[in-house]
Amino acid sequence: MSDEINRARRRFFGTAAMTLAAAQLAFNGKADAQPSKAKPAGLRSVKPGAHTSFAALKQIDAGVLNVGYAEAGPADGPAVMLLHGWPYDIYSFVDVAPLLAAQGYRVIIPYLRGYGTTRFLSDATLRNGQPSAIALDAIALMDALKIEKATLAGFDWGARTADIVAALWPERCRALVSVSGYLIGSQQAGKMPLPPKAELQWWYQFYFATERGRAGYDKYRRDFARLIWQLASPKWNFDDATFDRSAKALDNPDHVAIVIHNYRWRQDLAEGESKYDDFEKKLTQSPLINVPTITMEGDANGAPHPEPAAYAKMFSGKYSHRTIKGGIGHNLPQEAPRAFAEAIVDVAAES
């Protein structure tokens, strides 16, 4: 390789180490080792909203579901699974995915049960929103895609799901990025009353406990979702096009049933399935997470969330926390994609 080419590569990537990594990706089409911790130019310069679409979505049977998912990056790269929350969807990661793909990661972004193009294989299956059921969906998807181990990253329901997989199946989780930290709970914990100001933040949980709430969410699900976005990210000035791309995922025929069951189950107002009892019992014990972990929080998160100091002790492996400033709210991956991608690159390098 000529000196001129080398100089050009150094100017573009900033360091000789990144020159070598870029050359390996360009010529081999894969990452033969763990991606570098150095930040490439793309991670430094990406702006939220730079991307508005994924490649064609894929579908695969996995467990009780036919899962719809987006995929980016080389098929033989280190796997990263990105998990969205409620009432969001895979577009929370539309700017994150290309950053990670450019670093040689195989990025998998599934629609959770009840969202987008994900469907149940049987009409007889309970539309169950239990946390352990959703976590097992992630394991089933990894099995279907023949992914033995992945870095898991998510927010809201996605962070809880990633936490549960890391706690109960650490052999499947290479590393973890969890927005708002340790979100593993239980029905017993859900029965504990909170101070009035904290209870107020959970207004929709009590609304969903009523039949009026179920009917209201079904009738006004897009209006409801927009309100949650605004309350949870009060400084995020998302436009109608950004919202509409994600709101389509809420038209899933099982969406309302899954959401209502999830929140009612948390308050012990809905029955779960006995096949998940052993997993839920383990989660009641608040298991420690020992895989390398970075937790994150936006400085303007308007959704209910614990303080970082309250959950740091729940991570017994390599651990650090990052608070992302600049008016970043609950949907941190979409509001601060560079910071989220950087956390994944950094924690994967620790595994």
The reported pLDDT for the residue numbered 10 is 37
Give dist(CA 72, CA 92) in Å, integer. 15
Give the type of residue at 277: D
Q: What whole-number distance in Å separates Cα of residue 219 and Cα of residue 34?
A: 47
For all residues of the chain together, what is the average pLDDT? 89
What tens digit of pLDDT does each residue of 108-143 get? 999 999 999 999 999 999 999 999 999 999 999 999
Residue 44: band (very low, low, confident or very high) from pLDDT cuts 50, 70, 90: low
Going by C-alpha positions, the residue among 218, 193, 219 that lies closest to residue 206 is: 193
Q: Which of 329, 342, 351, 345 has the alpha carbon at shortest distance from 92?
A: 329
- Which string of b and e fits 44-79 if b means at least 16 CB within 10 Å? eebebeebeebeeeeeeebbbbebbbbbbbbeebbb
Query: Which sign, positive or negative, has the C-alpha torsion 28, 33, 34, 37?
Result: negative
Task: Report the C-alpha gap between 196 and 253 in whole angstroms.
Answer: 35
Element (H, E) at 131: helix 131-144
Write the pLDDT tens digit of every residue in 70-117. 999 999 999 999 999 999 999 999 999 999 999 999 999 999 999 999
Alpha carbon 70 to its chain's center: 13
Task: Give mean pLDDT, residues 48-64.
Answer: 95
Angle subtended by helix axes 221-232 and 240-247, to nearest 10: 120
**DSSP bridge pairs for 72:** 107
